[in-house]
Chains A and B, each alone.
Chain A
Amino acid sequence: MRKMLAAVSRVLSGAAQKPASRVLVASRNFANDATFEIKKCDLHRLEEGPPVTTVLTREDGLKYYRMMQTVRRMELKADQLYKQKIIRGFCHLCDGQSFPPLTQEACCVGLEAGINPTDHLITAYRAHGFTFTRGLSVREILAELTGRRGGCAKGKGGSMHMYAKNFYGGNGIVGAQVPLGAGIALACKYNGKDEVCLTLYGDGAANQGQIFEAYNMAALWKLPCIFICENNRYGMGTSVERAAASTDYYKRGDFIPGLRVDGMDILCVREATRFAAAYCRSGKGPILMELQTYRYHGHSMSDPGVSYRTREEIQEVRSKSDPIMLLKDRMVNSNLASVEELKEIDVEVRKEIEDAAQFATADPEPPLEELGHHIYSSNPPFEVRGANQWIKFKSVS
């Protein structure tokens, strides 16, 4: 045993200039995985739900932790940049503001953990976290927020219009993304590749008529669409009780089976997503998931978030469930990771965000000559009119 430890520490200390604590950490025996109990989901038109226990491997745990911290820190940084007026317009953040932040990171990381990269995802305008979990870098996300040429949409889209492979935004019109998602699911079925589409919307959007039109067609045609309602209990300033005659969002699909999931527990989200994806892939048609979360922060950067709810309410939720704390506690208590190790990840994430913010602030704005580009796809170049008839911009595809 001692020989093995010595060998390991020799290898590690020779491998890189890591601090001594790193060697100690690496030479500790971590568990490979651990089993956790997760909350049972409420079910609608389903005989069985997702399992109530799940296995988390050390590798996955570290990955989820890093991803959630990255999303949180990225959103906090966006918050900061917005207050400095370096980000303009709308900035709908995926996270809470101060101490401790309580947010929706578990949703984007948990959902991604339950599907394949070849599956599809579409959401509304609170999209930065998903843009990251679907594969884009913090750099290109922040640079898009600051409207620079290095942004993922070259500064043409902004906060609400970010796209990646198998990620269809980023959509500004509340509810419009839901029929789009059903359409992506139609393409999945049409192509016959067993892919599914996660179609997200909020508790506010859940009252949009077009969502019910999408439910109807998805069920009729058995589209592999997972409708996901992220219920953070407030549509802007209107609490769910004041907006919906029925706040059981997981039942609103009526003839579509549904489950209500603890959206603050990433493992719960992951298991529910796996369950829902398997359901869709088996050809049974659409399914609905309600993720119960809490929006500690205001609706967007222009909303302090206290005119329509009490500070006591915010405090109470704040102190009970922070998804990152929850994962951290689980991992440390089950010997999947050490506190120091996780702290190191924090440090690395912070640096990554700092570097990205630096880039996002220093990168130049897109060149004016590109104002007219990307009107049409696969088109020969043509001219686009500017503010008067003498100002012309070239437009290439």
Chain B
Amino acid sequence: MAAVSGLVRRPLQQVSGLLKRRFHRTAPAALQVTVRDAINQGMDEELERDEKVFLLGEEVAQYDGAYKVSRGLWKKYGDKRIIDTPISEMGFAGIAVGAAMAGLRPICEFMTFNFSMQAIDQVINSAAKTYYMSAGLQSVPIVFRGPNGASAGVAAQHSQCFAAWYGHCPGLKVVSPWNSEDAKGLIKSAIRDNNPVVVLENELMYGVPFELPAEAQSKDFLIPIGKAKIERQGTHITVVAHSRPVGHCLEAATVLSKEGVECEVINLRTIRPMDIETIEASVMKTNHLVTVEGGWPQFGVGAEICARIMEGPAFNFLDAPAVRVTGADVPMPYAKILEDNSIPQVKDIIFAIKKTLNI
């Protein structure tokens, strides 16, 4: 009899154990997701959510994207929603803007933003200015996205950073994601935004994996456009960057931390409208400022930050002039040693920080 009850008890214990396990709540694991996949997920979710959203550009459909960012989307959504265009930037950018004017929500991909120069009239004159010129009658809910800035060994015509050029224009919103969370949250916000949004991605970041926190895995995860993020708290100096250089700043901060210098690293996330308030609050705490960007120094993002800091409450808190770290003021050379020295390296950031702190 005891043997029989033993036979029954064990399965029952196992079953109740199973039942316990089923109802036991665990936190969703943080996933490792590359920036590429984060953008892909973001677009996929928005394509699914709203049938007015569609993607067009060179090689976005059957090739899965020149950089594979749109992998799998054509297979899932078909010819109507994922459209391969001929090599006609000005033409297809204009077509995308027209479609947006007529109520659709296009994502217009430029294979790199260097090629957007051919279509820049459509971005600025047809998209950016129209809501204003029409006094609010005609909105243009369009996203222009693609890789921006330096890559590796692609030389001068394929390496320009357009943050300053697009950031200059009223009517546009311009975002520049760094990691996977940024990429996903910002592309989703951009697609849902009723305004023309330029999304400056980075080719060298596409393959980099980051931990995607739990809340970023939700289909409604959005990062607000116009809000910077403090990636690392610090007390001695404020370091502001956007896109790939954010990673370099964090590296520099790690090195300097060992020497007792604590950097506050701010990830701009949005170029326009710029979150100057976050920078000001930080500068008022640390009394020192270094800006870091990949683009050319003259008339750039750092120049704008410095000008605004001078005009605002934070100026009186500066113990030293604000300093900029930028790309070299040359067209991008090809040879590796030359290219490496044409973009801000970690050592250049550390040097600038130490100079500012006079150490």
> Which A residues are closer than 8 A to B by beta carbons?
120, 122, 153-157, 161, 163-164, 168-169, 171-173, 176, 178-188, 190-191, 197, 209-210, 213-214, 216-217, 220-221, 373-379, 382, 384, 389, 397
Contact = CB atoms under 8 A, between A and B. Distances in A.
Interface in B202-216: none
Interface in B30-73: 54
A209 B91 CA distance: 9
Contacts of B332: none
A184 to B, nearest CB: 4
Q: Which of A172, A176, A220, A376 has the most CB of B within 10 A?
A: A376
B265 to A, nearest CB: 26
24 contacts: A120-B102, A153-B135, A157-B134, A169-B133, A176-B125, A176-B126, A178-B94, A179-B90, A179-B94, A179-B97, A180-B94, A180-B122, A190-B80, A213-B92, A216-B86, A374-B135, A375-B131, A375-B171, A376-B171, A376-B173, A376-B194, A377-B136, A378-B194, A384-B170
A182 B88 CA distance: 13
B98 A179 contact: yes
Q: Which of A155, A156, A178, A180 has the most CB of B within 10 A?
A: A180
Interface in B120-135: 121-122, 125-126, 130-135
Interface string B85-107: 11010111111111111111000
B133 A157 contact: yes
Contact of B95 (A122, A183, A382): A183
Contacts of A154: 135
A183 B173 contact: no
Contacts of B259: none
Contacts of A377: 131, 136, 139, 141, 194-195
B95 A217 contact: yes
Contacts of A122: 98
A156 to B, nearest CB: 4
A180 B126 contact: yes
A187 B52 CA distance: 9
Contact of A183 (B86, B98, B133, B134): B98
Given A120-B102, A169-B133, A185-B98, 14 more contacts: A157-B134, A164-B137, A169-B130, A179-B92, A180-B126, A181-B98, A182-B98, A183-B98, A183-B101, A186-B95, A190-B104, A376-B171, A377-B131, A379-B195
B171 A179 contact: no
Contact of A187 (B99, B130, B170, B194): B99
A214 B102 contact: no
B151 interface: no
Nearest to B89: A213
A108 B273 CA distance: 41
B122 A179 contact: yes
Interface residues of B, number: 44
A6 B94 CA distance: 62
Nearest to A122: B98
A155 B135 CA distance: 8
B356 interface: no
B91 A214 contact: yes
Given A173-B125, A180-B97, A213-B88, A187 B132 contact: no
B137 A163 contact: yes
B138 interface: yes
B195 A168 contact: no
B194 A179 contact: no
Contacts of A173: 121, 125-126
Contact of B101 (A176, A180, A209): A180
B132 A375 contact: yes
A228 to B, nearest CB: 15
A168 B95 contact: no
Given A154-B135, A172-B125, A184 B54 contact: no
A154 B136 CA distance: 9
B195 A183 contact: no
Contacts of A374: 131-132, 134-136
Contacts of A216: 86, 88, 91
A161 B126 contact: no
A373 to B, nearest CB: 7
A168 B138 contact: yes
Contacts of A190: 54, 80, 99, 104
B135 A217 contact: no
A154 B91 CA distance: 31
Contacts of A384: 170
A185 B97 CA distance: 12
Contacts of B98: 122, 168, 179-187
Nearest to B98: A183
A190 B96 CA distance: 12
B135 A209 contact: no
A156 B135 CA distance: 6
Contacts of A191: 103
A164 B93 CA distance: 23
Contacts of A209: 90
